[in-house]
Amino acid sequence: MDYKKAYEEWLNNPGFDEATKAELRAIAEDDKEIRERFYTDLEFGTAGLRGIIGAGTNRMNEYVVRKATQGLANYIIGLNGQGKGVAIAYDSRHMSPEFADFAALCLAANGIKAYVFESLRPTPELSFTVRRLNCIAGINITASHNPPEYNGYKVYWEDGAQITPPHDTGIMAEVKKITDYSSTKTMKKEAAQAAGLYQVIGAEIDDAFIAELKSQVLHLDAIKEQQKNLKIVYTPLHGTGNVPARRVLKELGFENVYVVKEQELPDGDFPTVSYPNPEAAEAFELGLKLAQEVDADLVLATDPDADRLGVRVKDKDGVYHDLTGNMSGCLLADYEIGQRKALKGLPADGMLIKTIVTTNMADAIAKYYGVGLIEVLTGFKYIGQQILGFEQTGKGSYLFGFEESYGCLIGTHARDKDAIVATMALCEAAAYYKSQGKTLWDAMVELYERYGYYKDDIKAVSLKGIEGLQKIQEIMETLRKDTPKEFCGYRVLSARDYKKDVIRDIASGEEKPTGLPSSNVLYYDLSDDAWLCVRPSGTEPKVKFYFGVKGTSLEDADQKSAAFGEQVLAMINGML
């Protein structure tokens, strides 16, 4: 069906409500807008759904949510798993509570019990809840750090991680089978509750989740020593982190936690930022202002669904430094593994897990402590998959896992990034180092001195709409067909094509498999410990160029990285 026919179908089908039709009639003269809304179905991919809220097949709305949920329900029933139930959480975005209920009532109409949180909750708590309630799956209504006009729908499986093969492809296939939106099932909430198919959850799960976080603390002694001295500024960026982050810090004894008032309360408009991303400098403007007023040791920001954490730390001269996701991840990895070794010893099969676009400093940390290193595809679900493998085989002990996109997991209570536990752990680490007369910045500098001056960055270009998606594919295919001999003055030593499952040594021509699932990703190992990775974003209309260099000092690494970044942008512009 072409986009105009799909548009007319939505206008004339009695299965669509009047508000939806009114929204569509308002764009009757805008062919480009009609095309964008109806040229395709919003794709249910390996990360679920994510798109702009509005009427149409290529938008987030109740019909698209119900279609996705019906597909999930059909898959669950096909596995005879309908007796176990599905946990549902949602964030502070527009339509999040409504989408959660649309999903819950579709499940209930299919005879599958839905456990729905009473109010917004962070992503890691949803992951925790799936396992806590012995559910077959979980649904999280969130678009993470996307702009305000977006929302999304993530599916988790019974291990608490986002869906991976074979479940992702199985669910996607069931969703694609549904061509008639009116064929999806639903029922009234009152009837679902009366039938025991819709249960509201809240405080009991919260208490268990916070208890799990607190069990990960290594140096309660340091917290008690510094609880009156350490000053922490925190912002939830209008999202879900406010209550759990403040609660866990308070219960551990931190007395000086200052919350950015302008960003404290949930607000789907995210009025203080252009988009609520803790990777962006603007997200810290208000937090840094407050930090300077109270002379805070560190500033922490969680994204709306509280799975990513942004960090600023103060040095002894009062200057605040930005810690990238790679930097904060390495700081926490070294602290968690190093202190566990000192206090308890490390298991012989201990493992540090990172994604392929994460800094090579992680490799150096693993080598220093004599633990194994596992590299997985981009996406924290693959780290969760490794934890499940450890449990199923009895081989491998999870120590720490992180990815460059500001996400890590301490402990195995969840199987997704957890910015609440990361907030707790960074404050603990700050107290520990402060008890030794050090700042977190001192600790970061010590890592560079011990492991090497690694500098990692990312450049991305947004290419929206149909033409944008085509251009992204053209960039990938151009690089795939003709491997460059060098990037930015660094020789290409080997090229990995994860779509073709091949690693090719440039000098010898020898090829071997990547050993990882198929993914549209290209990776280049370069001379002088440098690297470059190219991949389309799984959640935004972007193509991303990740890269890393190693310098002889912080200044040298910064200069090399800046030069590399400029040449990457020049290369991208040359392809557009």
Residue 294 shares a structural domain with residue 419: yes
Annotated catalytic residue, options 92, 96, 144, 405: 144
Distance CA 563, CA 559 (A): 6
Q: Is residue 469 part of a domain?
A: yes
Residue 474 shares a structural domain with residue 524: yes
Residue 418 pLDDT > 70, yes or no? yes
Residue 265 shares a structural domain with residue 320: yes
Residue 516 shares a structural domain with residue 443: no
Q: Is residue 373 part of a domain?
A: yes
User: What is the model's pLDDT at position 211?
Assistant: 98
The string of pLDDT tens digits covering residues 185-229 is 999 999 999 999 999 999 999 999 999 999 999 999 999 999 999
Mean pLDDT of 249-257: 98
Residue 131 pLDDT > 90, yes or no? yes
Distance CA 305, CA 366 (A): 30
CA-nearest of 486, 487, 517, 484 to 500 is: 517
Residue 162 shares a structural domain with residue 241: no
Distance CA 440, CA 445 (A): 9
Residue 317 shares a structural domain with residue 401: yes
Residue 96 pLDDT > 90, yes or no? yes
Mean pLDDT of 120-124: 98
Residue 164 shares a structural domain with residue 245: no
pLDDT confidence bin for 469, thresholds 50/70/90: confident
Q: Is residue 402 part of a domain?
A: yes
Mean pLDDT of 428-447: 98
Mean pLDDT of 459-463: 84
103: helix, strand or coil: helix
Residue 268 pLDDT > 80, yes or no? yes
- Lowest mean pLDDT, pick from 247-251, 513-517, 559-563, 568-572: 568-572
User: What is the model's pLDDT at position 540?
Assistant: 66
349-364 burial, b at 16+ Cβ within 10 Å, e below that, comes to ebbbbbbbbbbbbbbb
Average pLDDT score, the chain: 95
Q: Is residue 129 part of a domain?
A: yes
Residue 1 pLDDT > 70, yes or no? no
Residue 251 shares a structural domain with residue 283: yes
Residue 492 pLDDT > 80, yes or no? yes
Query: And the tokens for 570?
Result: 């020049």
Residue 538 pLDDT > 80, yes or no? no
CA-nearest of 49, 212, 116, 74 to 539 is: 49
Single residue among 173, 208, 243 that ends a domain in this structure: 208
Q: Is residue 123 part of a domain?
A: yes
Single residue among 451, 483, 516 that ends a domain in this structure: 451
Distance CA 81, CA 167 (A): 13
Residue 443 shares a structural domain with residue 534: no
Residue 340 sits in a domain whose CATH number is 3.40.120.10
Mean pLDDT of 100-120: 98
Q: Is residue 100 part of a domain?
A: yes
Residue 59 shares a structural domain with residue 204: yes
Helix intervals (H) in 60-138: 62-78, 96-109, 123-132
User: What is the model's pLDDT at position 542?
Assistant: 83
Single residue among 429, 451, 473 that ends a domain in this structure: 451
The string of pLDDT tens digits covering residues 134-148 is 999 999 999 988 899
Mean pLDDT of 517-526: 94
Distance CA 7, CA 25 (A): 10
Residue 87 shares a structural domain with residue 172: yes
User: What is the model's pLDDT at position 326?
Assistant: 97
Range of the structural domain that residue 277 is part of: 227-451
Mean pLDDT of 477-490: 89
| DSSP run (H or E) holding 419 | helix 419-435
Total domains in the fold of the chain: 3
Mean pLDDT of 285-298: 98
Residue 428 shares a structural domain with residue 470: no
Helix intervals (H) in 165-296: 167-177, 189-194, 203-214, 220-226, 242-252, 285-294
Mark whether 144 is an active-site residue: yes
Q: Is residue 272 part of a domain?
A: yes
Q: Which residue has the tokens 């990938």?
A: 476
User: What is the model's pLDDT at position 468?
Assistant: 76
Q: Is residue 35 part of a domain?
A: no
Residue 568 sits in a domain whose CATH number is 3.30.310
